[in-house]
Structure formats: C-alpha cells, structure tokens
Amino acid sequence: DAKTTQPNSMESNEEEPVHLPCNHSTISGTDYIHWYRQLPSQGPEYVIHGLTSNVNNRMASLAIAEDRKSSTLILHRATLRDAAVYYCILRPQYNFNKFYFGSGTKLNVKP
Amino acid sequence: DAGITQSPRHKVTETGTPVTLRCHQTENHRYMYWYRQDPGHGLRLIHYSYGVKDTDKGEVSDGYSVSRSKTEDFLLTLESATSSQTSVYFCAIRPTTGRLAEAFFGQGTRLTVV
C-alpha cells in the first residue's frame, strides 16, 4: 500500500492561511487523496478528497502536484477550532475499505 | 451528528476477561468499520463489514472478532483481553450512495485493560 509522509507538527497564527503538506511519492495512478482531521477527544472527520485536479469545499482546498507525488491541504483562515491532527490518506480507486491512517500532522493555532 | 453511537464510552476490564464493544448506526449504511488508535500509530483498521454477516479483516485483526447480525449494529469482541489491547476504539460508517468518500466516525470508546 502506498504510504504518506507528513510533518509531525505545525503551528499557525489565527486568521492566517495554513498549508499542510503531504508527500506520497509511491502513489499509483488510481489512488485518491483524502484528508481527515481529528479534533481533541473526537473521532476523525472528513475534510476533502481529490484525484488529480485541485478541489475546494467549504472547509478547505486541496492542491495536488502535477506529478501527484505530493499534495497540500490549505486552510484559508485558520481559527482556534482548526487545531487538530490532520491525516493525509491514500485510497485505491475501487476499494473504500483500504483506508489507512498514518500519524498525521498536529496543527497548533495561536491566537 | 452522523447517527453513530458507540457504547460503552469508557471501560476498564481485567486481563483475560471478554469484552464487547458496540457500534450502533441509524443511517442504514452498508459499510461499518472498527479502528483502534494508539499514541504514535494514528488509526489502524481492525475489521470491517460490508453487510449483515459479511465481515473482513483489517491490518490489526489478531485477538479481535466481529459480528453483524443487523444492519444497524456492529460488535467488536475481545475474547480474552490483554494489556496490549488498551486503546481508544473508533467505529465508522460509510454510505454507498451520494457522499461515498466520506466516512463518519463515532466518538470513540476508551478501553483500559489492567
């Protein structure tokens, strides 16, 4: 299974943009890139996903490199509530059940 | 709230005793999952189910069994609990129509084996 590499932790100031990187150099052509986050003492929650093109939703944006070997989750204006562990996950195209979480990036947001 | 409830939320048990954790959903989703979360390991898939009486193993299934006799309930059983199974357990559900890519997670069950 393709693996992802994320920094252990990052820090941001409130109301500033945050760019969370993820490296996935062994990604296959049909793997989807998913991002989940886990707030303190809660279960993970879906953030965004994509295949090749950049994606936007109400929570975040996902920028995918042209060679797909890396991606970046963008929070446009970080709030204190965005402090969480962010997981970058690769999922085979037709297998929603191979959904393996790594250690993620712990994002701290300073007021 | 995605209509998913885990019970109990906290449990302390002794080594060697059987333990059953319950995941209940009100969404009628076909897919249900059990994960465990330990410090430094993120979440790891234990077992999953793709329908009533249809289950399969994940990456860390040793020492665990599951059952799904009804669509709404997915049970995780530790036949003889060990200290290495002290962990936080999360249940997840996933729709098969609409928002297929989005799994919804419960609040977790903190299990301590002493």
Give the model confidence (pLDDT) of A58-82 as tens digits: 999 999 999 999 999 999 999 999 9
As beta bridge partners, residue B92 has: B33, B105
Contacts of A24 (CB under 8 A, 6+ apart): A2, A3, A4, A5, A31, A33, A68, A69, A70, A71, A88, A90
Tell me the two tokens of residue A67. Answer: 């060679």
Residue A93 has pLDDT above 90, yes or no: no
CB contact burial B31-42 (16+ within 10 A = b; e otherwise) = bbbbbbbeeeeb
Among candidates B40, B59, B105 on the partner chain, residue whose Cβ is nearest the Cβ of A44: B105
State whether residue A8 sits within 8 Å of chain B by CB: no
CA dist., res. A67 & res. A58, Å (int): 26
For chain A, the straight-line distance linking the first and the last C-alpha, in angstroms and rounded, comes to 39
State whether residue A49 sits within 8 Å of chain B by CB: yes
Query: Within a 10 A sphere around the Cβ of A39, how many other Cβ atoms?
Result: 13
CA dist., res. A64 & res. A71, Å (int): 4
State whether residue A59 sits within 8 Å of chain B by CB: no
B44 contacts in chain A (CB < 8 Å): 100-101
A6 contacts in chain B (CB < 8 Å): none
Tell me the two tokens of residue A73. Answer: 């989750």
CA A34 from chain centre, in angstroms, equals 6
The pLDDT of residue A81 is 95
Range from A3-12, A37-46, A89-98, A102-111 carrying the lowest mean pLDDT: A89-98
Residue A89 has pLDDT above 80, yes or no: yes
CA dist., res. B21 & res. B35, Å (int): 12
Amino acid identity, position B27: E
B106 contacts in chain A (CB < 8 Å): 43
Query: Within a 10 A sphere around the Cβ of A52, how many other Cβ atoms?
Result: 12
The pLDDT of residue A1 is 60
State whether residue B56 sits within 8 Å of chain A by CB: yes
Closest CA to A4 of A86, A83, A82, A63: A86
Tens digits of pLDDT across chain B (114 residues)? 569 999 999 999 999 999 999 999 998 899 999 999 998 778 999 999 999 999 999 989 999 999 999 999 999 999 999 999 999 999 999 887 777 778 899 999 999 999
Residue A6 has pLDDT above 70, yes or no: yes
Q: How far is A78 from chain B (nearest CA, A)?
A: 22
User: Are A99 and B45 in contact (CB < 8 Å)?
Assistant: yes
